[in-house]
Structure 1
Amino acid sequence: MSGFVVRPEPVRVEGLTHLHTGKVRDLYSTSDGLLVMVASDRISAYDWVLPTEIPGKGRILTQLSLWWFERLGDLVPNHVVSDVPPEGAPADWAGRTLVCRPLEMVPVECVARGHLAGSGLAEYRDDGTVCGVPLPDGLTDGSLLPAPVFTPAVKAEVGEHDENVSFDAVASVHGTALASELRDITLRLYERGREIAADRGVILADTKFEFGRGQDGSLVLGDEVLTPDSSRYWPADEWVPGKPQPSFDKQVLRDWLTSDASGWDRASETPPPALPDHVVERTLDRYTEIHRRLTGEAPSL
């Protein structure tokens, strides 16, 4: 059992229809057919949406996505129409809202990996592969791969694990042409992101993208992009293969949840506890720092 510790009630806004409450974002539709994505301050770990929010996190994710969309726009169009909340929206939506054109989403998490970590490391240790892609012997936690690899996953419902799948599995469901298009644009976007991050002293170890079809049938980049919720960022000057890397994400709270201090048994069906203030502050510091390192500016909270 997992999911939300407490599922929030959606905010009701005249003229908007609530469509979905996700782990982090709430999705609405407008009367003229646009979508409104509102990034909350919720945070998840180990398939649970935690009872404690990280104040300002939603604005950091939104600002970083907008910053990256600008830098990737020549490679693929994106779904953003505006970052101005609709009329009548709560004041708190400012800075955390994206108004987007609707897409027919492709139900594949398009993951690119340039380093070995996370679920990719676990599979490599078992089989010497990642999503069926053979890798050289002798790699370890954090190793740089010979070349970036496309390692797709099938998106799961809230509370369930995304399932890593092979390129062939994607092709068998969606056709080789679309699978190849997803792979190629994913790797091009990752290479651009990795180059920009490297110029700022940051390693983009891996990331995931989501795509949909626009009205003309072309692929369009949707959802968030290259945020610390969808990407693994490491400080380049602290990268040492062979051990877990310090990361600009929610690893601080993951470590606390699995420590004796939390009193939580991850293997049980008991929901995780509230986060103490010092864990909230340190987690927000990591999100703030990656925004500053990438953009050169502190986020507007």
Structure 2
Amino acid sequence: MSTIVDTNFNFPNQKSVYKGKVREVYNINDEQLVMVATDRLSAFDVVMPKGIPYKGQILNQIATKMMKETEDLVPNWLVATPDPNVAVGHLCEPFKVEMVIRGYMSGHAAREYKLGKRMLCGVAMPEGMKENDKFPNPIITPATKAEMGDHDEDISREDILKRGIVSQDDYIVLEDYTRKLFQRGTEIAADRGLILVDTKYEFGKTKDGKIVLIDEIHTPDSSRYFYADGYQERQNKGEAQKQLSKEFVRQWLIANDFQGLEGQTVPVMSDDYIETVSERYIELYENITGDTFIKADVSDIQSRIETNVLAYLKLFNSVD
């Protein structure tokens, strides 16, 4: 199946392009950003060799829907979605921290807990917890880019302020927005029979100094979901939770001796396995949004995206 794993557009008034792990961001005249969600799959901070059909469309459409469902609480960068794989928004200066918030002791927190650690990013985790237990209150465990390389590293609130990564006034806003978004996300998930386990939010500042939500929100790449039905029974029995996240990919990689560590080789994903990953992402989309997923035309994704973005920019410039 056709996928989009790399782009090389040259839009009118394009100043630069930034290529992240799964998104490519085009700066248009230092005013707007055109963010293309590719079909690349990243796990353990490593991009997998093959793309996942429809993944970019799924992530982009979940993120834009969730931004519209939270814009009454927290302002965001989004202006338009001219293509299923594209979001256009205000140019922002990103904060150099990811605001990770956890309602349950899962994923990275659980792995640290099993190693005997009871502090994560300067936040205490109670004794006597089991994997996937609910925290008494959600905890914020920020991450930042390592000084060497592209890996995320845990960081405490105190270190963020001490190192001047974010000012105290701004950080108070980031924490407030993070808790508000997580509460709304929890409510949205509950309405769809899901539990929002943990997630991350990224923020930036617009030219006029306004702090806004950027990037993605409540997608299966940035968030972990459990099915609410049967959650407590599975916990009581010590069984694994039924998840809606890309954790299933991480577990497959771990089972195939890969965790992104030095000297490890990415295992080969067969076409059949890639197809199952694509199907899981579609399942995630439909459960998270409550909408039926409509597959976009993927016969020539590059041309489709370029045509739609050019039409938007032409309209934007004529209005402007």
TM-score when normalising by structure 1: 0.86
**3-state SS, counterpart of residue 254 of structure 1:** helix
Residues 248, 156 of structure 1: alpha-carbon distance in 2 compared, 3 angstrom cutoff: farther
| Displacement of 1:265 | 8.6
Contact 2:45 2:150 in 1 (8 A): yes
Contact 1:41 1:58 in 2 (8 A): yes
Aligned to 1:39: 37
Residues 139, 297 of structure 1: alpha-carbon distance in 2 compared, 3 angstrom cutoff: same
Contact 1:109 1:153 in 2 (8 A): yes
Aligned residues: 283
Residues 219, 296 of structure 1: alpha-carbon distance in 2 compared, 3 angstrom cutoff: same
**Cα deviations by residue, 1:247-281 (Å, 9 ceiling, x for unpaired):** 22333333333335xx8696553541431123212
Gaps of 5+ in 2: 296-320
| Displacement of 1:156 | 4.5
Aligned to 1:250: 246
Residues in 2 aligned to 1:265 and 1:211: alpha-carbon distance in whole angstroms: 28
Question: Which of 51, 54, 57 is 1:53 aligned to?
Answer: 51
Map 1:133-212; keep pairs closer than 5 Å: 133-156=123-146, 160-172=150-162, 173=164, 174-212=166-204
Question: Which of 3, 10, 13 is 1:13 aligned to?
Answer: 10
Question: Which of 77, 100, 103 is 2:89 aligned to?
Answer: 100
Higher deviation after alignment, 38-47 or 275-284: 275-284
Contact 1:77 1:221 in 2 (8 A): yes
Contact 1:35 1:100 in 2 (8 A): yes
| Displacement of 1:149 | 1.3
| Displacement of 1:47 | 2.4
Task: Specify the code of the residue in structure 2 equivalent to 1:285.
Answer: E
**3-state SS, counterpart of residue 136 of structure 1:** coil
Residues 112, 99 of structure 1: alpha-carbon distance in 2 compared, 3 angstrom cutoff: same
Task: Specify the code of the residue in structure 2 equivalent to 1:224.
Answer: E
Residues 31, 267 of structure 1: alpha-carbon distance in 2 compared, 3 angstrom cutoff: closer
Residues in 2 aligned to 1:120 and 1:246: alpha-carbon distance in whole angstroms: 18
Matched, 1:298 2:292: yes
Residues 177, 264 of structure 1: alpha-carbon distance in 2 compared, 3 angstrom cutoff: closer
Residues 243, 182 of structure 1: alpha-carbon distance in 2 compared, 3 angstrom cutoff: farther
Question: Which of 263, 267, 272 is 1:269 aligned to?
Answer: 263
Aligned to 1:88: none
Residues 251, 131 of structure 1: alpha-carbon distance in 2 compared, 3 angstrom cutoff: same
Aligned to 1:285: 279
TM-score when normalising by structure 2: 0.81
Identity value in percent: 39
Aligned to 2:106: 117
Residues in 2 aligned to 1:157 and 1:200: alpha-carbon distance in whole angstroms: 40
Residues 14, 157 of structure 1: alpha-carbon distance in 2 compared, 3 angstrom cutoff: farther
| Displacement of 1:63 | 0.6
Aligned to 2:306: none
Aligned to 2:312: none
Contact 2:98 2:202 in 1 (8 A): yes
Residues in 2 aligned to 1:95 and 1:153: alpha-carbon distance in whole angstroms: 29
Aligned to 2:303: none
Residues 29, 142 of structure 1: alpha-carbon distance in 2 compared, 3 angstrom cutoff: same
Matched, 1:75 2:73: yes
Residues in 1 aligned to 2:93 and 2:52: alpha-carbon distance in whole angstroms: 31
Instruction: Please give the root-mean-square deviation of Cα atoms over the aligned residues, in Å.
Output: 2.3
**3-state SS, counterpart of residue 226 of structure 2:** strand
Gaps of 5+ in 1: 1-7, 85-93
Aligned to 1:29: 27
**3-state SS, counterpart of residue 216 of structure 2:** coil
Task: Specify the code of the residue in structure 2 equivalent to 1:162.
Answer: D
**Cα deviations by residue, 1:117-136 (Å, 9 ceiling, x for unpaired):** 12212333423222221232
